[in-house]
Structure 1
Amino acid sequence: MNKLFIKNMVCNRCIMVVQNEMDKLNLSVKHIQLGEVVFENELSEEQKKAIDKALSPLGFELIDDKKSQIIEKIKNTIIRLVHHQNNELKNNLSEVLSSELHHDYNYLSNLFSEIEGTTIEKYFITQKIERVKELLVYNELSLSEIAFQLNYSSVAYLSNQFKKVTGLTPSHFKQIKEDKRKPLDQL
């Protein structure tokens, strides 16, 4: 096999870290994306063990079984959509997942719920709220702009969902974060 699936890759920095480890092991990589590394050549068992040994202390884990690979692909697709493709959430999530993972959405949904103990929709909402928190802390966009970017139908809907998940309104969350930040002269 010249493809490995890796758990806990969630951002571009993870991709850089994994690439760096592959370089240290002198392995030719064709392509790296969230949760997946494609190699130029077939890997030996020794190479797989070396990769596991190098990645494990960094919080990554090789995934062998098919169901776990599918779960990780679902998570990585959602993370990519929410955190890395601004305002490209126009398509129906079930259609995107079915298309990218080549499985019926009902199968994906049931598998995800069985293994993760939550629904794909709840995971998706949690990721969206995490992104809203990030954008609120950056303080570069208004709540209307954030709602538009994350494809919410209205600011009110975003605010209601935010409060349901966090227990706080977006403005209260933002105020708490601002109060915790110390000015440079007080550090």
Structure 2
Amino acid sequence: MVCIRCKMVLKDELTKLGLHYTVVELGEVEVVENISVQQHDQLKAGLLKWGLELMDDKKSVLIQKIKNVIVELVHYSEEPLTINFSEFLSSKLNHDYTYLSNLFSEVQGITIEKFIITHKIERVKELLVYNELNLTQIAALLHYSSVAHLSTQFKKTTGLTPSHFKQLKEKRRSMLDDV
């Protein structure tokens, strides 16, 4: 789960089944009582109607937790890390970074670093479209060492420079205004 709406759907589905929860966080739920097989199946079906998936195996849950930490960090946190990311992730999930990294790469087919870069570039695109911050401010917000580093990573990932991407969005918007 990545958004507030997902949490609301989950809480609603748990309530419908008469289940009481203590924690509903991104990718994690703590339920007070034991869940019967029937409740489990009903919860799974209820979530599926909303396009959400109930994860049962520990590796999938751990991978989702890795993704959630990254999404939280890239999309919702403005505070810079005071330690390197591998230490941060290890301490957050109580696992050795090498284990987390190998598991993530094995199951997802990409490295954690590539996943982070992909999310950072998506965040850059979002901020460019909103047009509220300039590239220097975006680089600072996403903790890039420089605008040049952000631009290089953006071009390598998207095939476009940030300014060309912004021009395409503005051109598309003006074309839609003519309709």
The answer to whether the superposition gives a TM-score over 0.5 is: yes
Letter in 1 for 2:95: H
* Alignment correspondent of 2:142: 150
TM norm structure 2: 0.92
* Alignment correspondent of 1:110: 102
Secondary structure, aligned partner of 2:34:
coil
Q: 1:58 aligns with which of 50, 57, 66?
A: 50
Structure 1 residue ranges without an equivalent (≥5): 1-8
* Alignment correspondent of 1:128: 120
Letter in 2 for 1:114: E
Letter in 1 for 2:100: L
CA drift at 1:10: 1.9
Name the structure with the higher strand share: 1
**Alignment deviations for residues 71-99 of structure 1 (CA, whole Å, 9 cap, x no partner):** 11111110011011124344311111101
Q: 1:173 aligns with which of 158, 161, 165?
A: 165
TM norm structure 1: 0.88
Q: How do residues 73-88 of structure 1 correspond to structure 2 at under 5 angstroms?
A: 73-88=65-80
Secondary structure, aligned partner of 1:64:
coil
Q: 1:137 aligns with which of 111, 129, 141?
A: 129
State the distance in 1 between where 2:176 and 2:105 align.
45
Residue-pair matches, total: 179
State the distance in 1 between where 2:151 and 2:79 align.
18
**Alignment deviations for residues 129-185 of structure 1 (CA, whole Å, 9 cap, x no partner):** 111111111111111111111100001100000000000011111111111124886
Letter in 1 for 2:18: N
RMSD between superposed Cα atoms in Å: 1.8
Letter in 1 for 2:2: V
Greater relative contact order (CA < 8 Å, ≥ 6 in sequence)? 1
Structure 2 residue ranges without an equivalent (≥5): none
Q: Greater shift after overlay, 32-41 or 114-123?
A: 32-41
Secondary structure, aligned partner of 2:54:
strand
* Alignment correspondent of 2:88: 96
Letter in 2 for 1:111: L
Residue 46 (1) aligns with residue 32 (2): no
Residue 35 (1) aligns with residue 18 (2): no
Letter in 1 for 2:68: N
Secondary structure, aligned partner of 1:62:
coil
